[in-house]
A and B are shown apart, each in its own frame.
Chain A
Amino acid sequence: MNVQDRRRILGPIEAKPLAFPETKSTSNEETTVVLPEFQAPSIQTNLLKNCNGSCIIENENTSILSSIYGPRSTRSNLFESRCLINVTIKSAVFPTSELKELSSFLINVLESFVCLELYPKAGIDVFINLNIEQVSDLSWYIPYIMMSIVLGLVDAGIEISDLPGCGFNDNNAICFTKNGSEVIGIWRDKGDIKDESSFGDSLDICKDQYLQIKGLMASYLLSKLDDDKST
């Protein structure tokens, strides 16, 4: 039998019960947020004068600015035969640990297409500023972030082996290179992988988006080259 004295908690008999606010529903129903489709953004490079390369990618509610410093000499006394890459992302919307996780992911992606061995004893610093009006998942921004980094690197004159890009579909952000024959990164934060075929479909959609982004970047760079020649 329970003989504990609970009067201390319950209070005197004539006490009126406190009115609790309504409890939050604890149902685990996932609210389905419909993420906007990929929109061709406006691109502008060589905006900032104090860095080696910069690029701003803008669409309706998002503006992503990348600034590239380097290759510049590192402070380390050790001899590094390859260049070291550092990525810093700034955003007021997402928590720092999540941004650092994305930085670490982007460093790994960059290491697979930047020609690091051409710049020994050097470092490249990439700074990303995310100015977001309407918040989506962090993974939704990865295609735009990748685009701004790649064009920033081209603007800084840093050698890269290809024009890589990233596509987003069904919570997967997949980075491709070599015309989609190779994957250099995948980032998935939400949802189950139902089956292999649906993942394969998502992979194909991401690849198509990558090819579209690659086309956009290539046409921008060619038009910029023509402008530079004419001036």
Chain B
Amino acid sequence: MTLSVAEKSYLYDSLASSPSIRPDGRQQHQFRPIEIYTDFLPSSNGSSRIIASDGSECIVSVKAKVVDHTIDDDLLQIEVEIAGERDDSLITESCTSLFNKLLRNIDIKKLQLTKKYSFKLFIDVLVISSNSNPVSLISFGIYSSLNCTSLPKLVSNFDDLEVEELPMFHDYDLVKLEVDPPLVFVLGIVKNNIFIDPAANESEVANNGLMISWINGRTIAPMRTFALNDTNTKGFSPKLMQEGIKLVERYAPDIANALQNI
């Protein structure tokens, strides 16, 4: 989005005022409306399609494979692809690295099938279009796709160290994957104000951005600052970080609840 100098100045002043006035009238903690469709890819174990109100769109697919966890203990692998960006571009590699770190917070015991074998989940993310920072959108997509993931039901023994056999699965029955996926929240900082989910025009004037991860009532790592634009980046008061954490801790359970009810 390209804004004129006058537009930027007007937007900055209104966002920096106390209380801050957002261009679309949202409150400090309010998200833009999103549309989520789940389980629409027939060849995946779980999938989701998420569309933000500004036209940003992201597709997430979860596929599972049985692996020997004594050999391969990396049971969650994520690949991010962003349309219009090279695979080795800074934004794509940063997103992949960030989400791989984030998914370390998932309890991998839930993926264990037998004493020797586990499911390995391959999460593929495709950002079809993004008008503002896609991190939050991707995280919501991963959350909803993991929530609707079903895996084949094990019918053989759990203890396969004594009876050496490969895991056998039921022909039809599937079991819902019960994991607590983490969420990432993007916050925009303008002067002394901090707000959740900055839109493209707010990102254009923001002084800085803050990424806070949350899982099941806890604020977790990774936590990062990142620039939302390349012209207006500035430092901010240390108090704003604590305010951001407080804001996420207060409203994240509601968002997780809403995503779970899909």
Chain A contact residues, CB within 8 Å of chain B: 2, 4, 6, 9-10, 17-18, 20-21, 23-24, 26, 28, 82, 95-98, 100-101, 103-105, 107-109, 111-113, 171, 174, 176-178, 180-193, 196, 199-200, 203, 207
Contact = CB atoms under 8 A, between A and B. Distances in A.
Q: Most chain-A CB neighbours within 10 Å: which of B91, B208, B236?
A: B208
A191 B223 CA distance: 10
Contacts of A109: 225
What are the nearest 3 A-B pairs in CB distance?
A182-B235, A108-B227, A100-B93
Interface string B92-120: 01101110110000011100100110000
Interface of chain A, helix or strand or loop or mixed? mixed
Interface string B102-144: 0000011100100110000000000000000000000000000
B208 to A, nearest CB: 7
A105 B208 CA distance: 12
Interface residues of B, number: 53
25 contacts: A10-B165, A20-B70, A82-B230, A97-B94, A101-B93, A101-B94, A104-B94, A107-B227, A108-B225, A108-B233, A112-B233, A112-B235, A182-B235, A183-B237, A183-B238, A184-B208, A186-B223, A187-B223, A188-B223, A189-B101, A189-B221, A191-B220, A192-B221, A193-B219, A199-B245
Interface in B185-236: 208, 210, 218-227, 230-231, 233-236
A186 B244 CA distance: 13
B246 interface: yes
A142 to B, nearest CB: 12
Contacts of A187: 223-225
Contact of A193 (B70, B116, B223, B224): B223
